[in-house]
Structure 1
Amino acid sequence: MLESRVVSRTAELAAAKAEAEAAAASKTRFLAAASHDVLQPLHAARLFVGSLAHDLHDTSSKVRDLLANADRSIDGAHRLLRALLELSRLEQGGVSPKRGVVGLQGLFNELALEFAAMAADRNIRMTILPTGLGMISDRDLLRSILQNLIGNALRYTPEGGRVVVGARRAAGTARVEIWDTGPGIASCDRMAIFDEFVRLGPASRRDGGAGLGLAIVRRLVDVLGHELILDSVEGRGTVFRLLAPLATATAESRREEPPLSRAGSLDILCVDNDVDILRALSALLDRWGFSTDCARSAGELATLGKSWDAALVDQHLDGELGSDLVARYRNCLGKIAIVTADPAPDLAQRLRAEGIAVLPKPIAPAALRAFLNGVAPN
């Protein structure tokens, strides 16, 4: 009888575990689908706001401030959705590190481009120091950690402040350091900041953060087996130090960016199955002086019968992936960017290896302008 009860109880526990795992997987799938569907209108809204901001550039500062606040609100909603999805994946155990040698200079170059517009908008002097060091880590997870830490530093550093990112060698480890001249963190808060939804300081200085960035950082550091050290002085600033095994940095291939080009001389292709997004994107590009063509599918693209200097292609089209469409028509698309709400790190890594840029939804107009500034006319 005892053996029978043990067998029965074991079966009950296995069934409960399977049910819990299925529920967790279902929650992650739901969040992924919901985040994509919610990001579509946010993406269109941000492009429309950018277009309106261009039209009202010479109007009163009050109107410009309202538009800037609208853009920040859209960006805040986007960050919250992405953070919730990443946190869900981490809690489910759906993140498996793929460790290898990561050359830090290539990663630093990408992060410098990504955060340049944000630093300029906030009038913060951001310096990313050159390095020849490498780490043993997962490149995409490491990038996510540094994204969150640098983004946090920029959000909490007041206007006119400074953020410095660099790397040092220390006793067999490589140490990436992110310094800021923000308000600092009190000793009693240094454990709490790694909890979900914790945001320190007055609301006026949080810049729409959801309080999930450092919670994600803590989990990713644990997954990778790295070490994170925090030092801070109230009123003077904070430094985060990320330690990982040292490696000889491999030379990462760098594509030479073409010189800056004039907007009026460029033809841009926009591919998206959402009509509102195409309207918003073409409205913004037209105001910047670009010549645009739009298509909602590979079939519509085929009827256009021409070449372009650059292409902005949505990843999830009706019945087809944008990356597959790009593979078929690449010879006539010029410089390519895949526009996506897909957070999968392997997708971004694969596309970048093929020389294709990745622009996350909702696109910041400044990030779109930065991409187009590197396009050379055919």
Structure 2
Amino acid sequence: MVETLDGIPTDAWDALRQAIDFIPQGVAVFDRDLRIVTSNSRYAELLDVPAELIRPGTALYDLALHVARRGDFGSGDAINLAVQRVQELTQSHATVSQRLGAKGQVLEFHSARLPDGGLVISFADVTARVEAETELATINQTLEGRVEERTAALIQVNAELEAARAKADAANRDKTRFFAAASHDLLQPLNAARLYTSTLVERAGGTGLDELAHSIEASLSAVEEIMSALLDISRIDAGAVKPASVPFQVRDLLKKVDVEFAPLALKKEISLRLVDTSLSAIGDRALVARIIQNLVSNAIKYTKPGGRVLVGARLRGTRVRFDVIDTGIGFNKDQHALIFAEFSRLEHGARMAQGLGLGLSIVKRLVSALGLTMELESKEGRGSRFSLFMPYHRSMKVPLEPPPPREPASNLAGLRILCVDNERAILDAMEGLLGGWGCDVRSARSLKDIDKDGLLLGWLPDLVLMDYHLDQTSGLDAIEWLRHNVGGHLPAALVTADRTPAVRALAEERGITVVTKPVKPAALRASISQLAGQRGRKVVEG
């Protein structure tokens, strides 16, 4: 039995809290009444306040009043100083400020309002940076007329700055490695939680618990969105994204968009139309796909039921223009720059959908990293068009083909599926979800367990869902082993929290679908239907 908190495995919460405690900045989240919801240990350490003042439920004003009485805000009436400080942190959508701490250190505060009216405050000790800036300013003031002294000082300062830059680069690399390692451990329990919750949603219909189940599912989706965005931003800013430009078929991107977003569009009663094309482009296929996915996700998120989203590409001179067009809420020209800023959301968009406003910020970073250009047109209340331009690749035209019919959910009944994952909780959750769809499911934690338990004796799977990071081998090698023993046409999907382009490229070379964790049930169902169709076609062809 997996211990849960409000239906979510407690190890997911523990892992997330432990990860936050590794962040060198102090972080605290306040609700719409400006009372503490949670904070990390660094928050209390840098503020140097009693433990009772950082407990959940403590008012931001009480915390500010304590600090004001201690003298951190300077001389004057403590009550007025506390009120002024709270106003400084909350009067704008996002603020940046500096002040002295209790020990004389310089603290830099960043605050941002959340869509629900809450507040996130993060701060760090920037004393060393400020001292270096002050020292540099002092040196610059005394340089004139002292050529020899100036040269020596500049050499020293440049050496210190180079050392600081190298240290910062090393810290960025360490942060990237940490996020990459932590992401797997964090996404694993989150994946199990989402699968359990999806099963609960399907089984709670009409029981009075369906509203609660949907609320839990929405909260988990928000956590997943934030984590994915932070991981992407961390990798891009640290220079870990290394584009590899190769020719690729635009049609491949359209197929991925169809598999991932068709179920969501159907659920929201939005018409998602993908225009097939034989065009080829040059670029990093995985990173371009990430851009298109973010744009389509945004289009669906901010389009009302009954609206339309169109995705397609056309040739414009020597470039391919990839368009994502919607009939959503739109925005005016004055807001073009604002929508690409981190944690920035338009007021009518914030009322319509949850989020932190990171999707288009990631798009902007990726477009810059790839050296591409993007255009946008929008009219408030009428919709938007985002256009990504990529170099055109002249290749043999591939005949247009109608999109394959989507398999109805009922066709999954009786489908034999083998699930392999080294986390028992994920296997249990997957069995519950797939079993609810009528599938015949068997699971194992490794190839050794498959052999030991005799899972394939008198039972052959129609397809396999395989984790990538197994204890004894990689999921890709495990799939090859199964194909050798079960049949070379065995359809397979790699279900993994590893989002690196290298893993995706290896899987695609072997004809293996990639499903990223945390798994979206609708996308998983679409992928399974597609894989089942592959199995059927291979049997006919054989």
TM-score (norm 2): 0.64
Partner of 1:315: 468
1:288 pairs with one of 423, 431, 437: 437
**How far has the Cα of 1:142 moved from its partner?**
0.9
Partner of 1:183: 329
Partner of 1:201: 347
2:195 pairs with one of 8, 29, 47: 47
CA change 1:259–1:190 in 2 (3 A) is closer
Superposed counterparts of 1:124-135, under 5 Å: 124-135=270-281
Contact 1:134 1:250 in 2 (8 A): no
2:162 pairs with one of 1, 14, 19: 14
Partner of 1:163: 309
Superposed counterparts of 1:229-308, under 5 Å: 229-249=375-395, 262-305=411-454, 306=456, 307-308=460-461
Aligned: 1:140 with 2:296: no
Partner of 1:340: 496
CA distance in 2, matches of 1:181, 1:356: 35
Contact 1:178 1:240 in 2 (8 A): yes
Partner of 1:74: 220
Partner of 1:359: 515
Q: Secondary structure at the match of 2:392?
A: strand
CA distance in 1, matches of 2:418, 2:474: 16
Aligned: 1:56 with 2:204: yes
CA distance in 2, matches of 1:304, 1:263: 25
Contact 2:204 2:210 in 1 (8 A): yes
Q: Secondary structure at the match of 1:313?
A: strand
The one-letter amino acid of 2:315's match is: R
Q: Secondary structure at the match of 1:247?
A: coil
Partner of 2:360: 214
The one-letter amino acid of 1:349's match is: A
The one-letter amino acid of 1:205's match is: M
The one-letter amino acid of 1:47's match is: L
CA distance in 2, matches of 1:136, 1:200: 34
CA distance in 2, matches of 1:173, 1:257: 28
The one-letter amino acid of 1:266's match is: L
Q: Which of the pair has the greater relative contact order for Cα pairs under 8 Å at 6+ separation?
A: 1
Instruction: Decide which moves more: 265-274 or 19-28.
Output: 265-274
**How far has the Cα of 1:35 moved from its partner?**
2.1
Contact 1:101 1:248 in 2 (8 A): no
The one-letter amino acid of 2:372's match is: H
CA distance in 1, matches of 2:170, 2:473: 28
CA distance in 2, matches of 1:195, 1:227: 17
CA distance in 2, matches of 1:106, 1:187: 33
CA distance in 2, matches of 1:365, 1:315: 19
Instruction: Decide which moves more: 8-17 or 238-247.
Output: 8-17
How many residues get paired?
374
CA-to-aligned-CA distance 1:65-124 (integer Å, 9 cap, x gap): 432332222122112111111111111112122112222122112211211111111110
1:33 pairs with one of 176, 181, 194: 181
Gaps of 5+ in 2: 1-147
The one-letter amino acid of 2:167's match is: E
CA distance in 2, matches of 1:338, 1:201: 39
Instruction: Decide which moves more: 187-196 or 94-103.
Output: 94-103
Contact 1:132 1:249 in 2 (8 A): no
Instruction: Decide which moves more: 263-272 or 119-128.
Output: 263-272
Contact 1:174 1:246 in 2 (8 A): yes
Gaps of 5+ in 1: none
Q: Secondary structure at the match of 1:95?
A: coil
Partner of 1:369: 525
CA distance in 2, matches of 1:172, 1:264: 48
**How far has the Cα of 1:220 moved from its partner?**
1.2
Sequence identity percentage: 39
CA change 1:352–1:296 in 2 (3 A) is same
The one-letter amino acid of 1:21's match is: D
CA distance in 2, matches of 1:281, 1:339: 11
- Greater C-alpha radius of gyration: 2
CA change 1:362–1:252 in 2 (3 A) is farther
**How far has the Cα of 1:132 moved from its partner?**
2.2
Superposed counterparts of 1:79-158, under 5 Å: 79-158=225-304
Contact 2:278 2:397 in 1 (8 A): no
Contact 1:268 1:292 in 2 (8 A): yes
- Structural RMSD (CA): 2.6
TM-score (norm 1): 0.91
Contact 2:194 2:217 in 1 (8 A): yes
CA distance in 2, matches of 1:343, 1:294: 24
CA distance in 1, matches of 2:470, 2:370: 34
The one-letter amino acid of 2:437's match is: W
Q: Secondary structure at the match of 1:270?
A: strand
Contact 2:204 2:213 in 1 (8 A): no
Instruction: Decide which moves more: 285-294 or 79-88.
Output: 285-294
